[in-house]
Amino acid sequence: MRKIHSALISVFYKDGLDVLVKTLDNHGVIIYSTGGTQSYIESLGIDVIPVEDLTEYPSILGGRVKTLHPKIFGGILGRRDHPTDIEQMSGYEIPEIDLVIVDLYPFEETIAKTDDESEIIEKIDIGGISLIRAAAKNFNDVVIISSKHQYVAFNELLDSQQGQTSLEQRKKLAVEAFAVSSHYDAAIFNYFNKDFLFPYLKISEHKGQVLRYGENPHQNGVFYGALEDVFDKLNGKELSYNNLVDIDAGVHLIAEFNEPTFVVLKHTNPCGVASRDNLLDAWNDALAGDPVSAFGGVLVTNSMVDEKTAEAMNSLFFEVLVAPDFTKEAVALLSTKKNRILLKQKLFNFSKTQFKTLLNGVIVQDTDYTTETETNFTLVTSRKPSDRETADLVFANKIAKHLKSNTIVFAKNKQLLGMGCGQTSRVDATRQAIEKANSFGFDLEGSVMASDAFFPFPDCVEIAYNAGIKSVVQPGGSIKDQESINFCEKNNISMVLTGTRHFKH
């Protein structure tokens, strides 16, 4: 155990500092400070030794240099059990500093609100980050408090241990400090690297939520990020790893639609989708797409869930419902199942990149935010799709983009009728889509077909034609595109090409 006799305090955020400073004063701790922090502590009626009195050097360069001095860093880095260090500290009149309370200039907050590079650069902390690293390095003797979020717990520790700390406590705080400093450096690098794109990967997340388990019960799982920035949880149990994966897939898909739409997902794949003039009809028609797979699924909509829709949904067992809002009556009704998770989605920025561990490293790619509309369609047949078919082609193509490859989608009147996904051949995906549509009583006559990638042969188009489709959307790009086009031409089917493939693995 080591008693705290002296502290250096220099913070950007003052909220919550008053209670901690008063506790330190009550324990007879000598306080060194500078600038705004010094003024704040003095306003509390507590004695402070200005850093300038200790260093005999003023704050210079507009405050850029305040604490960068041997009398400060020597007091932090000096080893209390090292005779040479003690001798040198005595010789140069360097006082021991047992506690450092420092936070950092708000760099991330600054880049979030301005593009003014001069202002951003001034928020790159130099002295603070150096003090944090120095104190954390010498955790054997020094305590480092690197975040305002630690004030309450540390204050309680001081009172319960009469102003003393253990080696284990100091080491734990040092680990947290290195997390702060590394996160800060990563944010600065990523800001500047957007202009240069050096092939260095720096990912840092400060918040981690331990999950019940990973994809399976024998796997550990953690979510890193601030879920509270994305959702308000209105009801239900803790989100699982699989819930989060499905929710991510669902919110990306629902973002493609503007009119009232419902999406039903199972294992990240949309198995029921419908767009309608009102949400109740959208729900009923989305559920009709695959009422079997909907059991235990994740549901996502882009419209407020009202009482009528909630009544229609309530008898179904489902894991999660995500919506931009709920009426009070809908929440009350749907919350009668205590484990059912209800999430109110907030406006947030989707990640622009995707990461995946692979072999002995990580692969990174841009997130696929390309979505084709009618203006991106190139007609390659004599027959033009009707207005209804065109709307269905756009609708089906959006769904195909979000299904696991190889995938085929059949749709009609903005309703998913059948889909084949995750198949090793496009022929298998086509047959699976037809089988699913038939099994739920859908008539494919007059429907449209969407494919996530080109047709290497005309076989899929032929199979779909025999099932009743009248229009096709696909990326194109095969050396045998013309064979599929010729089949469509011969059988009065319209075909449009998008020029954009949407593989999803």
Query: d(Cα 270, Cα 293) in Å, to the nearest integer?
Result: 10
CB 468 within 8 A of CB 447: yes
Query: d(Cα 471, Cα 238) in Å, to the nearest integer?
Result: 44
CB 102 within 8 A of CB 10: yes
What is the arrangement of strands in the sheet containing 99-102, beginning at the earlier edge strand?
49-50, 30-33, 6-10, 99-102, 143-145
Query: CB 351: neighbour CB atoms within 10 A?
Result: 10
Amino acid at 101: I
Closest CA to 243 of 212, 272, 204: 212
Residue 8 has what DSSP assignment? E
Is 267 a catalytic site residue? yes
Provide φ and ψ at 461, rounded to 5°.
Answer: -65, -40
Catalytic residue among 5, 27, 137, 337: 137
Cβ neighbours for 65, distance < 8 A, ≥ 6 positions apart: 59, 127
Closest CA to 34 of 18, 16, 20, 54: 54
Closest CA to 52 of 67, 70, 37: 67
Query: d(Cα 129, Cα 179) in Å, to the nearest integer?
Result: 11
Is 404 a catalytic site residue? no
Catalytic residue among 22, 202, 267, 308: 267
Task: Say whether the peptide bond before residue 406 is cis (omega within 30 degrees of 0).
Answer: yes
User: Which residues are catalytically annotated?
Assistant: 137, 267
